[in-house]
Amino acid sequence: MKIPARFSPILFGAMLSAIMVALVSAFVLATTQGIHAGFLAKWAVSCLKTWPVAFVAVTLLAPWVRRAVGSMTVGPG
């Protein structure tokens, strides 16, 4: 099943924020508490709590970041 292209900014925000939250929360948890018996459960709770914040931030900030990057770069030769 394909999602209509008009939803691509939302899908982009959902996927990017989920990946980033998973990676960063695992890194922070591992470096602050170490890998332990309850690591996966704590990691899952952390991801579920922080993903909504990251999703909204990525979705709202992505257009601004694209414009900022566009103003700082030049096209090919």
Distance of CA 32 to the CA centre of its chain: 21
Reported pTM: 0.82
Residues 6+ apart with CB under 8 A from 35: none
- Give residue 1's pLDDT: 87
The single residue listed with the structure tokens 């209509």 is 4
Segment holding 48, helix H or strand E: helix 39-72
Q: Where are the domains of the chain?
A: 14-68
2 Ramachandran zone, left/alpha/beta (phi>0; psi -120 to 50):
beta
Using one digit for the tens of pLDDT, what is the confidence trace for 34-76? 999 999 999 999 999 999 999 999 999 999 999 999 999 998 7
The single residue listed with the structure tokens 């030769």 is 77
